[in-house]
Amino acid sequence: MRPLGDVRIIAIEQYGAGPFGSLHLADLGAEVIKIEDPAAGGDVSRYVPPMTEGEDSIFFEAFNRNKRSLSLDMHSPEGRAVFEDLVRNSDAVYSNLRGDVPAKMRIRYDDLKHLNPAIVCCSLSGFGMTGPRSTEPGYDYILQGLTGWMSVTGDPEGPPTKSGLSMVDYSGGFVAAISLLAGLHAAKRDGIGGDSDVSLFDSAITMLTYIAAWNLNGDFVPERMKNSAHPSLVPFQNFEAADGWIVVACAKEKFWKRLAVAIGRPDLADDDRYLTFADRSRNSQELIKLLEEVFLTQKCDYWITALTDAGVPVGPIYDVDQALNDPHTIARGLVVETDHHRFGRVRQVASPVNFGSLPKAYRRAPQRNEDFGYVMNELLKYSPEHIAELASTGAFGVNKVAQPTSENLEAESAL
């Protein structure tokens, strides 16, 4: 059995951060059942371009493989009753909604513990369930600006810049997954579940780490650094070579000494201006200018070979295509394939989370409501008559493709 093969998670999730977190749990074997709002056409990410057709998108595939899908109107009494039956038969309720919405939808522990005392309720929202911003929707771009990330990203002569990836979403998803696992462990030990209130804001603030510590304990003012330089370690940054860019990382004094020899300037290692981290930081302008001139004299491959042979941490700056085709990417099994009814063979990146020796298995993301039969018949063991009665009341919504409206998109997502 896979590590989480005995875990069932009901996921009221959409778009990026929430599905990203549960994706890794599904890859580890957890049964993740996505509850999709039929009135909204399901998870809004089904419609994100490019590479989208009908309710299928490559974006949705990237966040939802190995999961199940059930269309359910949780706002109707009958749909709520189905949800509560699922809670009785599950280990966790996982959501990514606006901070005030779990209380309104009654999906917190106090709302569900009478159904299952061991249920773990994990809420990932933009700003959490408490605090002055709890009712605000939180999007990765906004959070990167609000939490200081943009102020330290990009060129000092340019504007504040976001990361090229949605790192607040992804870090928030990982934090939610870790929190949910902690809750599952406690529930298994004690027989009692509880709430996990995590947020994108909390995750982003916490990831300021040492920069925050420097700022909180002194007069250090974080700022954008030219060529993505480290704020205190020198040299530790991008350098332009004759035909491209490389990254050189002298994170230890021994690397600096090796670098000086490798570039044909052993005298620099004994120069009083550059002896220590503190010395090189004080005299960084003249040292970096000197190194920039040296690195421009040869091509990237030359420097990568020379510095690697000298034991200096160095690497090329790849584009995405080069990174995905690097021999190490292939050797680590980081590109996987699934069969898709519309797109054929879909290639995507694997989860980096690993445990045990069982080979990983990957299944395409579910079509909307694809697992209706499994949930109704096998999991909940409803009779045909009961299913028909629920359907007649609209518990499962109207069986048609419902394109998302502006209200749907704005509604309750934390993303």
Beta partners for residue 53, in sequence order: 56
CATH number of 8-207+342-410: 3.40.50.10540
Candidates 75, 114, 230, 386; catalytic one: 230
As a whole number of Å, the end-to-end CA separation of the chain is: 33
Which pLDDT score is estimated for 358? 87
Residues 6+ apart with CB under 8 A from 143: 126, 149, 168, 200, 201, 204
pLDDT of 360 > 90? The answer is no
- Is residue 161 pLDDT above 50, yes or no? yes
Burial class of 356 by CB neighbour count within 10 A (0 to 12, 13 to 18, 19+)? exposed
Nearest by Cα to 187 from 18, 406, 51, 6: 6
Q: For residue range 33-83, list pLDDT tens digits in order.
A: 999 999 999 999 999 999 999 999 999 999 999 999 999 999 999 999 999
| Distance separating alpha carbons of residues 322 and 320, to the nearest angstrom | 5
Give the residue with greater pLDDT, 401 vs 288: 288
With beta carbons less than 8 A apart as the criterion, state whether 207 and 199 touch.
no
DSSP secondary structure string for all residues of 17-68: HHHHHHHHHHHTT-EEEEEE-GGGTS-GGGG-SSSEETTEEHHHHHHHTT-E
Q: What is the C-alpha to C-alpha distance for residues 98 and 127, in angstroms, rounded to an integer?
A: 8
The pLDDT of residue 219 is 87
Do the beta carbons of residue 336 and residue 348 sit within 8 Å? yes
8-207+342-410 and 226-317: same fold?
Answer: no
Q: Which CATH number fits domain 226-317: 3.40.50.920, 3.30.1540.10, 3.30.930.10, 3.40.640.10?
A: 3.30.1540.10
Beta bridge partners of 93: 10, 121
Alpha-carbon gap, residue 119 to 93, rounded angstroms: 7
Q: What is the pLDDT of residues 307-355, one digit of tens each?
A: 999 999 999 999 999 999 999 999 999 999 999 999 999 999 999 999 9
Per the annotation, the verdict on 230 as an active-site residue is yes
Number of separate helices (H) and strands (E) present in the chain: 18, 13
The two three-digit tokens of residue 414, written as one number: 């934390």
Residue 412, pLDDT above cutoff 70? no
* Residue pair 101/399 in contact by the 8 Å Cβ criterion: no
Q: Which residues pair with 239 in a beta bridge?
A: 246
pLDDT in tens, 82-111: 999 999 999 999 999 999 999 999 999 999
The domain limits of the chain are 8-207+342-410, 226-317
pLDDT of residue 413 exceeding 70: no
